[in-house]
């Protein structure tokens, strides 16, 4: 039995690092052994080599192709995760006496809001915190006198997702860490998009930033070199040694997305997976969803048992059925099934089968 067959027996619902396409894993293993015919591992080659520069160039171009990135935007591969972007965004866009507008819809949005407060004033336009972030606020107005508006498109912990974005009179910044490349996005409506790779794009260790060049260079304070977007743009994501291997795996994953038909095809796949699982949650009398129906995430499906005392029994069954990573975050409890791009619908069906099996045993 080969490695691919062995791995496919486990259904990986991990919230992150999440499941990767098997072809991306296989090709990355080959690159570890011998990259680009160099008889060297990609783990040991110079990031200044022509062969590796071609990796970054191709990955950047595929990002532009998949999302139809307009002219005037730069694509960056940076380190520090989305959490570093929480401070990097206000550091580059906000002066001390300026105000930024934030939509607080979950744990990561809350952390981004807190970091922005270190650099300027923050206006929290709306939040669903008082209901454990189980819905997305929609009735708010973005003030024209703020420097930028920040939102989080998908909330990994609480299982909500923004399926539309407000019209804004100011630059829009969005953390798309957990739903990037899962659906089409009109990049022209955003001035800065950032996303940690470890959900839909690659392994942990690299962060994608898509930024409109003209919004930079307007703050009056000094910015540390490593936190200045302009430095990374000027140096093509290679001001310092980049996360070489992580970017390579991203390239292989992006090639897989493109080969399957791009983000439109991904959205079709992801809708089918989410609809299958939510239908079972709504049908099965043992389970119930935790979020407002209209805001239910396609990426992270959160649900609980109507009888919490059965939770451990269902987790035991899930383990027996090789359903990995479905235990819910402590903030919500219950279960969370992450349905990232690379998860096949067969894995979702396996989870549905287990839920139906559990219903028969406990009805």
Asked if residue 93 has a cis previous peptide bond (ω within 30° of 0), the answer is no
Residue 131 CB burial class (10 angstroms; 0-12, 13-18, ≥19): exposed
The C-alpha atoms of residue 82 and residue 176 are separated, in whole angstroms, by 9
Please report, to the nearest 10 degrees, the dihedral formed by the alpha carbons of residues 198, 62, 64, 74 taken in order. Answer: 70
Longest dimension (CA), the chain: 65
Give the tokens for residue 135. 């819905």
Residue 153, SS3 per DSSP: coil
Catalytic residue among 104, 108, 147, 273: 108
Catalytic residue among 104, 147, 199, 212: 199
Catalytic, 256? Answer: no
Catalytic residue among 104, 147, 175, 191: 175
Count of other CB atoms within 10 angstroms of residue 180: 28
Catalytic, 108? Answer: yes
Catalytic, 145? Answer: no
Which residues fall within 8 angstroms of residue 214, CB to CB, at 6 or more apart?
Answer: 72
Which residues fall within 8 angstroms of residue 108, CB to CB, at 6 or more apart?
Answer: 82, 152, 155, 156, 157, 175, 177
Residue 312 CB burial class (10 angstroms; 0-12, 13-18, ≥19): exposed
Residues acting as catalytic residues: 108, 175, 199
């Amino acid at each position: 039995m080969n490695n691919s067959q062995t791995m496919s027996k486990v259904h990986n619902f991990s919230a992150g690092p999440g499941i990767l396409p098997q072809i991306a894993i296989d090709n990355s293993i080959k690159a570890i052994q011998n990259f680009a015919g160099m008889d060297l591992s990609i783990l040991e080659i110079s990031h200044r080599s022509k062969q590796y520069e071609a990796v970054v160039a191709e990955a950047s171009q595929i990002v532009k192709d998949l999302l139809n990135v307009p002219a005037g935007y730069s694509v960056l591969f940076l380190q520090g995760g989305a959490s570093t972007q929480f401070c990097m965004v206000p550091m580059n866009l906000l002066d001390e006496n300026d105000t930024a507008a934030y939509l607080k819809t979950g744990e990561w949005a809350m952390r981004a809001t807190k970091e922005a407060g270190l650099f300027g004033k923050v206006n929290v336009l709306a939040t669903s915190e008082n209901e454990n972030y189980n819905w997305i606020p929609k009735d708010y107005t973005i003030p024209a006198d703020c420097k930028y508006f920040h939102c989080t498109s998908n909330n990994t912990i609480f299982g909500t997702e923004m399926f539309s974005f407000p019209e804004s009179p100011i630059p829009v910044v969005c953390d798309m860490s957990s739903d990037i490349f899962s659906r089409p996005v009109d990049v022209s409506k955003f001035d800065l998009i950032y996303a940690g790779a470890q959900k839909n794009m690659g392994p942990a260790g690299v962060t994608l930033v898509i930024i409109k060049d003209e919004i930079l260079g307007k703050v009056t304070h000094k910015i540390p070199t490593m936190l200045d977007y302009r430095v990374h743009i000027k140096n093509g994501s290679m001001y310092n040694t980049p996360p070489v291997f992580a970017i390579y795996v991203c390239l292989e994953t992006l090639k897989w997305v493109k080969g399957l038909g791009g983000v439109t095809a991904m959205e079709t796949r992801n809708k089918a997976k989410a609809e299958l699982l939510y239908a079972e949650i709504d049908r099965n009398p043992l389970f119930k969803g935790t979020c407002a129906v209209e805001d239910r995430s396609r990426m992270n499906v959160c649900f609980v048992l109507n009888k919490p005392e059965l939770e451990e029994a269902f987790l035991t069954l899930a383990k027996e059925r090789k359903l990995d990573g479905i235990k819910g975050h402590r903030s919500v409890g219950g279960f969370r099934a992450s349905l990232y791009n690379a998860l096949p619908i067969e894995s979702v069906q396996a989870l549905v089968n287990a839920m139906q099996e559990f219903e028969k045993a406990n009805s």
